[in-house]
Amino acid sequence: MKIIYTENYEVMSAVTAQLIAAQIYRKPDCVLGLATGSTPLGTYAELIRMHRSQNLNFSKVRTVNLDEYKGLSPDSDQSYAYFMRENFFRHINIRPENTHVPNGLNPDEDAACSCYERLIDDLGGIDLQLLGIGHNGHIGFNEPDDTFIMDTHAESLTEKTVRMNARFFERIEDVPTRAYTMGIGQIMAAKTVILIANGADKAETMARFAERTIDPHFQGSILHAHRNAYVIADKAALSILIKQAPQLISNR
Ligand code: PGA
């Protein structure tokens, strides 16, 4: 695991976009695992810029998103399908049929999850998975638990996650309390994983993350067991870690 320090959000986003672009140049029909949330927005903006100014070509790229709220239609402006379309896909030359998000409208949880699982297998697995991290250490919607759940599954969101995500909804009561998420096994099977984090409000999370104890109560800690995982974080997110254990940061 390499923890890479960047000066600010813009540099974090540019470095991440360059690694994703390198993956696309190496394998034009690669499978990208993508994330929603505030953190990756700058990365998507930079990839859109590279598409426009450097002809970065997404025509063969396939994507699978980490998660989706149960009960939301892809047309709902709070759904992750909508988020991806608006913030990324409609600005690049990706084929809509090559982009995938779990089907939030399928009320049958087992069917929705096994279908997504099969889809990822049929695509040949994930080449590069982009991740944000929640304050409670969640990756995707894998919330703190006594175990790691390997497969795609339905998850009840913690109160804290619902509160955090309420900023995207009109009222907190509108935030769905269940979601479909890729499991830890699928994330860990990705050939490369890039976790990004920015801002002072993630500083404690990153200090906890760097402790290197694998603990399902902080699901992101599993990435310490991944052979090709990178953490790219900005100065603010690394502000505690850099004081406590600067040796854990690769480029300091
Ligand atoms: P954020 O969310 O990017 O909006 O901070 C990250 C997450 O909850 O996984």
Question: Mapping DSSP to helix (H, G, I), strand (E, B) and coil, where does residue 28 land?
Answer: coil
Confidence class for position 66, pLDDT limits 50, 70, 90 = very high
Report the residue among 67, 83, 143, 164 best suited for mutation to probe ligand 1: largest number of ligand atoms under 8 A from its CB.
164
Ligand 1, pocket residues at CB < 6 Å:
37-39, 132-134, 138
Residue from 71, 75, 31, 24 nearest 51 by CA: 24
**Using 50, 70 and 90 to split pLDDT, how confident is the model at 252?**
confident
Catalytic residue among 46, 68, 127, 143: 143
Give this prediction's pTM: 0.97
Contact 66, 35 (CB under 8 A): yes
* From 136, 211, 215, 224, active-site residue: 136
Characterise 101 by phi-psi region: left (phi > 0), alpha (psi -120 to 50), beta (else).
Answer: beta
Lowest mean pLDDT among 40-54, 160-174, 230-244: 160-174
pLDDT, one tens digit per residue, over 181-215 is 999 999 999 999 999 999 999 999 999 999 989 99
The predicted structure's pLDDT at residue 174: 93
CB 129 within 8 A of CB 30: no
Q: What is the mean pLDDT of the chain?
A: 97
User: What pLDDT shows up at residue 208?
Assistant: 96
The closest of 206, 66, 36 to 135, measured between CA atoms, is 206
pLDDT score for 75: 96
**Where in 140-207 does DSSP place strands (E)?**
153-156, 178-181, 192-197
Tokens 């600005």 locate to: 91
Query: Distance between CA 196 and CA 42 in Å, rounded?
Result: 11
Q: What is the pLDDT of residue 105?
A: 97
Q: State residue 42's pLDDT score.
A: 98
The one catalytic residue in 51, 100, 138, 226 is 138
Q: Is 106 a catalytic residue?
A: no
Active site (annotated) includes residue 170 = no
Q: Which helix (H) or strand (E) holds 159?
A: helix 159-165
Question: Starting at the edge strand that comes first in sequence, how are the strands of the sheet with 192-197 ordered?
Answer: 2-6, 229-234, 192-197, 128-131, 31-34, 62-65, 99-100
Q: In this predicted structure, which of 92-106, 130-144, 159-173 has the lowest mean pLDDT?
A: 159-173
Instruction: Give me ligand 1 centre to Cα 131, in Å.
Output: 9
Q: Which two tokens stand for residue 92?
A: 């690049």
d(CA 46, CA 31): 19
52 has pLDDT over 90: yes
Contact 249, 238 (CB under 8 A): yes
Which of 44, 131, 133 for mutating ligand 1's site (highest number of atoms within 8 Å of CB)?
133
Residue 136 is among the residues annotated as catalytic for this protein: yes
Mean per-residue pLDDT for 61-72? 98
Active site residue 77: no
